[in-house]
Structure 1
Amino acid sequence: MSVFPKLITVIAVLALPQIAAAETIQTQNGGDTFYTGGLVSQSIDTKGDTFVTARSARVDGATSGDMHLSGFDVSVDVDVAQDLYAMGATVVIRGTVAEDLSVMAFSARTESGARIGGNARLMGNSVDVEGPVGGALSVIGRDVVLNAQIAGDVRVMAKSLSFGPDATIAGSLTYSSETKIDVPTRVMPADRVTFEKISGSKVFEEWEQVGRDMPALPTFASMMFGFMVTLLFFLVLGALMLGFMPNRLSRMRRSIAAAPGQTLLLGVIGLSVLFGMVPITGLTIVGLPFVPFALLAIVVAWTLGYALGAYSVAMRLWIGMGGADDPSKIARLMILAAAIVFVALLNFIPFVGWVANYTLVLLGIGAMTRFAFEAMIGDTDVALDVDMKPIED
């Protein structure tokens, strides 16, 4: 499997359950071993593939399969029989990797004790290669230091490239940088060095060429078409809701008008529960297949909440200006359309538009959260009215 599908696997399987657990959690599934926690300091001896995700991961031992790690601070002193993939803010490789190594980090380093049997691919702001590489080396970084024996070809794209006293390259070197550097002859002969100048102007020219091939900014007609499609979507959604659940829709609308502050707070609670479902579901490992459904639930709730919030606020303004409390369905759709258009225009005002849209989402989700609570435990408002009613002599 190529590096990109593997990296996608790491992101999907490891990044979702990354929360600060108090202790290391270990589980197995299909021959794979999974470790997660806030601070994972683990000595491993696994037969299949190994997955580790933590805020800080320090792992040693050995594994006979692939190894995948993600975290803020990652330290790997593991003898890996196959490939090693690591992502983090800081990644340090100290063990032996029999096949390929792939690292993406802000600071990436292979120490002198590390041994890479196959190809090594590293990406980061600062990249230090001190351990020998048995295959080819590919590096993208701002500051790159090579201080190891490289058996294959080397390709580097960097702002600055330097060589340590132990650096030797058996293959060819192709480096891309702003300025040409003098590669020491002890590293390799000059006839095997290729320099490709890279500059801000060149990158800008290439970006402009991409822009000519595929316009980066949408035309006014495209923007209007997208807005009309969005408006039509919300009108169809509103027609369906008014047709299939008019009473429930009216009840949720009135709950927003009656207690907007309380509804806003319920929206925060409801949205927090939805977003919390993602890491909680992923943390169980066996629930990973259901994570996409949790993400889909967030999208659906966000869309419905936005439409309900806009409709409720617009109806409240309509009634406040002397309109009928129970207009026809056509009039309600027109009110919803006017609300969507007005809120869309607010998006052109920095910050204000975002706050208005987010407030509408919270109001709508809050009304749906109230409705869900009442469906589970009964109408809390009625109970409160009865309990708080003063007793007359």
Structure 2
Amino acid sequence: MRGAIRSALAILTLIMAAPVLAAPEEAPASQALEWAPGKDVFSVGRELTVDRKVEGTLSAAGEIVILTRDAEVEGDTWIAGRRVAVEGDLEGDLSIRAQEALINGEVKGDVTFYGLDLSLGPDADIEGSVTYYSPSTARIDKGAKVAGDINGHDFKPGEGMEPVPGPRGETRERWRQEHMSERGGPRGLSAPGYHMSAGGAVFFGLLAVAMALLAPATTLRMRDGLAAEPTLALGLGLLWLIGIPVLVVLVAITIVGLPLAFLMLLLWPLGMVFGLIAFLAAFGEFLAGRIGETGKGTFGRVVGIIIATAIVWIAISIPVLGALAWLFVVAGGIGLLYIGFRNTPV
């Protein structure tokens, strides 16, 4: 429970600092906000670097979060970000929610990871267990040490480890080239890109198929909305993405409004997830109607969603433009959900 509360507070801090994270490229990378109640530290920044000792627990959130070799945390560590690198010494447990994470330091407790890609570098020394939830197998350098068990998605004893060949020094340099860059100082992760893994594309595509088959009437209304009211759908989605964080801040000012603020805090990311699924379902239905006889019936819907998922996957993977594609898809999908349920017969 204590970890859940700390996680929620860290996410709330991240949302309240949205203007900082949304700053343009020219904004200083070191710009960050920090809250330190007692010995615990809550920190959020666009590119956040921790290189000091924290006597309590550490909760950090941002696009890029780095714990350098000078970082020491006596309590537990909770990190949320796009890309995360940990090279310091952590006395407690380490929990990471990230797109990609590299652990190349000492962790006395257990490690838990939720995301797309987990890597353990040659200097990783973990005295506890490693549990990860990811569509891909963790990359574990042959020099890494894990005293406990390693449990992951589809992980089997004796399998799943992917040792990187080459001498220890060569391996360390390759880790730094793949995960680190000189941007912003001697240690810093390269700028993340919006992308969806192949496993993630399949997962969301299957959910879109399920939505199209279980709610065909709603999917058809969303398809019509995509064709006839794309601007309205996009506007409603952007209103959700921008308005909810603002409401959270306003509501959280009062103690009475905190429960409602946390409820909205949970609904905000769920809206993005369901928005992506809704867009794939509606776009797939739209494409199914344009591929002739093949697009008719259940089979046609599935084929349409497969094509739609492939197009969205490729669009999101395009450098720079991928961020705009992601925003269009998610925001449009959220708006299409409203359009689909707005016209539901009573």
TM bucket, shorter chain: 0.3 to 0.5
TM-score after normalising by structure 1: 0.40
Structure 2 length as normaliser, TM-score? 0.44
> Relative contact order: is structure 1 or structure 2 higher (C-alpha 8 Å, sep ≥ 6)?
2
Higher strand residue share: 1
